[in-house]
Amino acid sequence: MTKIAVYPGSFDPITMGHVDIINRIAPFYDQVIVLVAQSSQKQSLFTAEERKALIEQSLPHTKNVKVDIFGGLTVDYMKKANAQVIVRGLRAVVDFEYEMTMANMNKKLAPEIETLLVFASPEYYYISSRGVKEIAVNGGALKDLVPEIVISALEKKYKKKE
């Protein structure tokens, strides 16, 4: 059986916390699919295509990782892709309740699929896409928080908006 994990999220934009999770789980699977959520409910700064391109450019050396975009339920994508495991990252306690609800909801929808929660590394646990955008809009330093390519993308985005 080909072991496939899906790491779904908004990735608006990808941060070093996300990159860390991807690099840590990739050795355990034949393939990891980073799934960019194209949500109709959530407003995003970057389009799904832009978010996908930024993820791809942030992971140039990880061979068994691919990036895809999906607008529906994660479990429906998983069935189509023959994937078995949903990976999510866990930072502080505040993430726990949301992740537990999602995991149980997905278990109800697709009992054969497991959710794997991976603890954020201590050096990245405080990083969030939302925090990064807040720093970027106010011109703060983004070094070590996001990949270099994301720093330029954020600078371009906010320059255009001014």
Is 114 a known ligand-binding residue?
no
Decide if 91 is catalytic.
yes
Is 158 a known ligand-binding residue?
no
Could you say which residues in the range 106-135 bind ligand ADP, by CB under 6 A? Answer: 120, 124-125, 127-129
Q: Does 89 bind ligand ADP (CB under 6 A)?
A: yes
Q: Contact at 8 Å (CB) between 11 and 51?
A: yes
Q: Contact at 8 Å (CB) between 151 and 139?
A: no
Residue 70 Cβ vs ligand ADP, minimum distance, rounded to whole Å = 12
Q: Does 21 bind ligand ADP (CB under 6 A)?
A: yes
Catalytic residue among 66, 79, 91, 133: 91
Q: What is the distance of C-alpha 104 from the center of its chain? A: 19
Instruction: Give strand ranges (E) for the chain.
Output: 4-9, 31-37, 65-70, 85-90, 114-119
Q: In terms of Cα–Cα distance, which of 128, 112, 109, 100 is closest to 17?
A: 128
Q: Does 32 bind ligand ADP (CB under 6 A)?
A: no
Q: Which residues are annotated as a binding site?
A: 10-11, 18, 42, 74, 88-91, 99, 124-130
Kindly list the catalytic residues.
Answer: 18, 42, 91, 129
